[in-house]
């Protein structure tokens, strides 16, 4: 693992298996970047507790699931450092220090927090939930990450991390490294139910671990153009979810599919079958790698333990510097 390369840090909450939306928005980019950057992948089990503290058993099971999702798409454990958030002492310590440098009002106005509050239907929120972006700043800075590949919903959090770093350095001297967000170039994936977002908590996902039959079935049940009732009716590809998926997962055929849809030369059933096939072709190699790791769970555990050890070593050094800068070392 080359120490001279720039460092990437990103990760996922361990609240369930990852889906195609995660793949196009984030995982596919990680795979591309892993050769060029020293890549850290965080299994965010502490952040998962902010919304799922009543179901810790789901969180611990999901640590394996999320690790396997990442491994299955082709992240190479020889190149990438996988680690478990709750094992990293520096993250907990830095979270406490950073919490002095951010006001409650700033946290309250975070647009992603606001969206999530609505999405989960909270009428009150915990201190931990309100403060998770502070903990996320610790995730990012403990290892001096340069780049944070994320979807646009995470931008407010990266911005907060950057502000915290600047504030810290201003107050205590140049100590922390300022990270930058790296936005995914792929648009957000809609849910097959027509929802603007494929979401773990929205029940509309195609999971990376779904078998071929499940994927075909989910595609078969997807909503399409509501104005197209009979096969001879001309379709409106611009308002069809399946068509949007063709654009992402079947780019070479996309244009001709639009034409055939508009002129009623292809029906929704055939169009969906075609898409399901393309999705299954994409997912097949992931399924194969996943099957290997399912059978070698101990290897997955080793990967996480080894990565966490490395992360702790790096984190210790950062905390030492932070404490020195803050004059709280004897």
Q: Contact residues for ligand TRP (CB under 6 A)?
A: 9-13, 42, 44, 47, 136, 139-140, 148, 150, 154
| Nearest-angstrom CA–CA distance, 82 and 79 | 10
Q: How far is the CB of 130 from ligand TRP (least distance, A)?
A: 14
Task: Tokens 């951010």: give the residue.
Answer: 102
Q: How far is the CB of 238 from ligand TRP (least distance, A)?
A: 30
Which residue, 46 or 219, has its beta carbon nearer to ligand TRP?
Answer: 46
Which residue, 58 or 260, has its beta carbon nearer to ligand TRP?
Answer: 58
Q: How far is the CB of 138 from ligand TRP (least distance, A)?
A: 9
Which residue, 154 or 204, has its beta carbon nearer to ligand TRP?
Answer: 154
Would you say 151 and 118 are in contact if contact means Cβ atoms under 8 Å apart?
no
With CB atoms as reference, the residue minimizing the distance to ligand TRP is 44
Torsion over CA: 46, 47, 50, 53 (sign): negative
Which residue, 161 or 242, has its beta carbon nearer to ligand TRP?
Answer: 161
Which residue, 85 or 224, has its beta carbon nearer to ligand TRP?
Answer: 85
Task: Collapse the DSSP code of 198 into the 3-class scheme (helix H, G, I; strand E, B; otherwise coil) and give the result.
Answer: coil
Q: How far is the CB of 46 from ligand TRP (least distance, A)?
A: 9
Q: Are strands 180-183 and 81-84 parallel, antiparallel or unpaired?
A: unpaired
Q: How far is the CB of 14 from ligand TRP (least distance, A)?
A: 10
Which residue, 9 or 176, has its beta carbon nearer to ligand TRP?
Answer: 9
Would you say 114 and 70 are in contact if contact means Cβ atoms under 8 Å apart?
no
Name residues whose C-beta falls within 8 Å of residue 19's C-beta, 6 or more positions apart in sequence.
198, 200, 205, 206, 207, 208
Would you say 98 and 168 are in contact if contact means Cβ atoms under 8 Å apart?
yes
DSSP state of 35: T
DSSP state of 5: S
Strands of 7-13's sheet, edge to edge?
A: 81-84, 38-44, 7-13, 147-150, 180-183
Which residue, 11 or 131, has its beta carbon nearer to ligand TRP?
Answer: 11
Q: How far is the CB of 242 from ligand TRP (least distance, A)?
A: 26
DSSP state of 296: T
Q: How far is the CB of 269 from ligand TRP (least distance, A)?
A: 35
């Amino acid at each position: 693992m080359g120490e001279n390369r720039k460092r990437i840090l990103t990760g996922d909450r361990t609240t369930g298996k990852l889906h195609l939306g995660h793949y196009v928005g984030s995982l596919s980019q990680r795979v591309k970047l892993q050769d060029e950057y020293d890549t850290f992948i965080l299994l965010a089990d502490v952040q998962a507790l902010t919304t799922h503290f009543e179901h810790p058993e789901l969180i611990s099971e999901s640590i394996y699931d999320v690790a396997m999702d990442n491994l299955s798409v082709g992240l190479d454990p020889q190149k990438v450092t996988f680690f478990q958030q709750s094992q990293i002492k520096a993250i907990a310590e830095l979270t406490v220090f950073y919490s002095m440098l951010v006001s409650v009002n700033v946290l309250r106005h975070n647009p992603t927090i606001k969206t999530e509050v609505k999405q989960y239907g909270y009428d009150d929120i915990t201190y931990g939930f309100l403060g998770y972006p502070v903990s996320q700043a610790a995730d990012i800075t403990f290892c001096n990450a340069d780049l944070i590949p994320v979807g646009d919903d995470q931008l407010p959090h990266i911005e907060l991390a950057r502000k915290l770093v600047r504030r810290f350095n201003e107050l205590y001297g140049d100590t922390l490294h300022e990270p930058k967000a790296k936005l995914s170039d792929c648009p957000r994936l809609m849910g097959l139910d027509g929802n603007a977002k494929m979401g773990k908590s929205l029940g509309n996902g195609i999971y990376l671990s779904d078998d071929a039959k499940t994927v075909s079935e989910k595609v078969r049940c997807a909503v399409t153009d509501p104005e197209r009732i009979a096969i001879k009716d001309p379709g409106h590809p611009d308002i069809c979810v399946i068509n949007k998926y063709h654009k992402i997962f079947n780019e070479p055929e996309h244009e001709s599919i639009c034409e055939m849809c508009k002129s009623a030369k292809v029906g929704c059933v055939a169009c969906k079958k075609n898409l399901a096939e393309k999705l299954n072709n994409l997912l097949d190699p992931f399924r194969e790698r996943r099957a290997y790791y399912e059978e070698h769970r101990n290897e997955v555990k080793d990967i996480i333990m080894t990565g966490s050890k490395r992360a702790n070593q790096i984190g210790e050094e950062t905390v030492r510097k932070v404490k020195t800068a803050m004059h709280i070392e004897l």
